[in-house]
Amino acid sequence: MQLHGYYRSTASWRVRIALNLKGVQVDHVAHHLRKGEQRAADYLKLNPQGFVPALSLDDGTTLTQSLAIVEWLDETHPQPALLPADPVRRAQVRAFAQAIACDTHPVQNLKVLAQLRHLGLAEDKVTGWAAWAIGEGLAACETLIAKETGPFCFGAEPSLADICLIPQLFNARRFGVELSAYPRLLRAEAAAQTVPAFADAAPERQHDAE
């Protein structure tokens, strides 16, 4: 399998964590987002959306969208499970993941920030936009797991929720979001930092890191 990604793409990072947790080896193909390589004709044949990540399977099929890829991985490589067995708990983990992957990250991604600049917004307002979107999302996430004993987002083992949270916290720091208001999220992050699957997926450990 080949994972098409970019070291600093948080969506690619989610898939890297999931692959590491499952112990699945893949070849990593880097597409430099700031150079626009995700819009090259050859890549658009694999993923017409022009986003990373995309996972090319050995039979030539290419899967897109990080959450769909992680759920595919969880269905085809069940251990360790990235979702709980109970349907309500699965829904809670997925809702947390979607609060990040639907409502937070797409509102502050490279493409949206470029469009804000295109509309004439100054750089400080563009950065402020990203910080606003991330702050709104993390505040919701903090509340969603406030009563969870942890130490991970949902329980004693990492799940899809942690896979989405850790990269989003990186983006939060990048855009100057003050994180002290989110102690429960930081506790989940501290738990993840002890797991090699998370550490090995970090941007600075990737071969295309700058």
Among 26, 29, 81, 121, binds its own copies (CB under 8 A): 121
Among 112, 179, 199, 202, binds its own copies (CB under 8 A): 112
176 backbone φψ class: left, alpha, beta (φ>0; ψ -120 to 50): left
CB of residue 202 to its own copies, shortest distance in Å = 23
Q: Contact between 40 and its own copies (CB under 8 A)?
A: no
Question: Which residue from 28, 72, 174, 179 is in contact with its own copies, where contact means CB under 8 A?
Answer: 72
If we measure between CA atoms, which residue out of 99, 11, 23 comes closest to residue 55?
11
Among residues 71 and 189, whose Cβ is nearest to its own copies?
71
Q: Tally Cβ neighbours within 10 Å of residue 1.
A: 13
Q: In which order are the strands placed within the sheet that holds 54-56?
A: 27-30, 2-5, 54-56, 62-64
Taking CB under 8 A as the rule, does residue 41 contact its own copies? no
| Binds its own copies by CB under 8 A, chosen from 51, 152, 154, 198 | 51
201 SS3 class: coil
Query: Strand pairing of 54-56 and 2-5?
Result: antiparallel
Total Cβ atoms within 10 A of residue 26: 16
Q: Which is nearer to its own copies, 127 or 199 (CB)?
A: 127
- Residue window 77-106: x/- pattern of binding to its own copies, with contact defined by CB under 8 A: ----------xx-xxx-xx--xx-xxx-xx
Is-contact 174 127, C-beta < 8 A?
no
Of the candidates 86, 65, 60, the residue with the CA atom closest to the CA atom of residue 15: 65
Q: What letter would DSSP give residue 152?
A: B
Contact status: 68 vs its own copies (CB under 8 A): yes
Least distance in angstroms from the C-beta of 157 to its own copies: 19
Binding site for its own copies (CB under 8 A): 48-51, 57, 61, 63-65, 67-69, 71-72, 75-76, 87-88, 90-92, 94-95, 98-99, 101-103, 105-107, 111-112, 115, 119, 121, 125, 129, 132, 136, 139-140, 143-144
